[in-house]
Homo-oligomer: A and B are copies of this chain.
Amino acid sequence: MTPTIGVFDSGFGGLTVLRALLARLPQAQFVFIGDTARLPYGSKSRRTIARYAAQSAQFLVREQGAQFLVIACNTASALALDAIQAAVPVPVLGVIEPGASAARSASRTGDVLVIATDATVQSHAYAAACQALGLRALEKACPLLVPLVEEGWTDHPVTAQVIRVYLDELLAEAAGAGLNPDTLVLGCTHYPLLRPLLEQAVPAGMRVIDSAEAAAEAVVRHFPMEKSEERPLTAQVVRCFATDSVEKFERLGSRFLELPVGKVELVDLGG
């Protein structure tokens, strides 16, 4: 049996979660939708985000036959996971709890740092999820990192310098608060593309946790299949939909997926 897994994001950053899933579940089929017409979710109310995300979730389940949903969007995971779970009759997994769990496994000091977008940090969803696991977490918004990734400057000296500035501020704040952090959580689906630069910038011994990979690991535990059917990674098993801006999705998406995204299909979810 070939399961169909639906992956949702407000944009296309969630393709990094899909990439991690493809590598781990080569026998599954995937349907991705980016609600690009209505991004950014970060500036919208919880109620609006819940309504928008539920529409995408229902599209994936009802029209595309998804039997499992991954909310590859930190804002929607932070603000609307309950509403999405209530809107569809299949299991729904967000990215925040898996990220916090992976940090719990990685950290020996119990103190972790989280970098994310402004909206995710303002929700304090990572801090709450970490605290529920006994960790102390310090969050920092890094608003320049998404535009730098989208500009393609993932290996640019400017980006290395911006990361240096943000991490220095965060480490100074952590020291001032008496924390001894040994783990950095990437709380944004764009950040895996900056992982090499981030690994170079963190203090020696600090672990870097990627929420996208942590979420993919959590999905794999739902599908304990044999690996006999393994086949080479290919975008053939992926269908991608977007609610607008198909051109930008097609242009930038393959950097996130590390595979051609092929033709992105436009879908209208209404207002």
Question: Which residue of chain B has its CB nearest to the CB of A245?
Answer: B43
Chain B CB within 10 Å — which of A153, A158, A244 has the most?
A158
Question: Which residue of chain B has its CB nearest to the CB of A142?
Answer: B151
Chain A 125-141 against B: per-residue CB contact (8 Å), 1 yes, 0 no? Answer: 00000000000000000
A165 at the interface (CB under 8 A from B): yes
Contacts of A162 in B (CB 8 A): 158
| Cβ contact of A144, chosen from B37, B40, B44, B151, cutoff 8 A | B151
Chain A 148-162 against B: per-residue CB contact (8 Å), 1 yes, 0 no? Answer: 101101000110011
- In chain A, positions 145-194 with a C-beta closer than 8 Å to chain B are 146-148, 150-151, 153, 157-158, 161-162, 165
Contacts of A144 in B (CB 8 A): 144, 147-148, 151, 153
Tell me the bound Cα distance from A146 to B148 in angstroms: 12
Question: Which residue of chain B has its CB nearest to the CB of A39?
Answer: B43
A143 at the interface (CB under 8 A from B): yes
CB <8 Å contact, A244 and B158: no
Tell me the bound Cα distance from A79 to B211 in angstroms: 39
Tell me the bound Cα distance from A146 to B165 in angstroms: 18
Q: Which residues of A contact B (CB under 8 A)?
A: 36-37, 39-40, 43-44, 143-144, 146-148, 150-151, 153, 157-158, 161-162, 165, 244-245, 248, 271
25 A-B Cβ contacts within 8 A? A36-B43, A37-B43, A37-B44, A39-B43, A40-B40, A43-B244, A43-B248, A44-B244, A143-B147, A143-B150, A143-B151, A144-B144, A144-B147, A144-B148, A144-B151, A144-B153, A146-B147, A147-B147, A157-B161, A158-B158, A158-B161, A158-B162, A158-B165, A161-B161, A271-B271
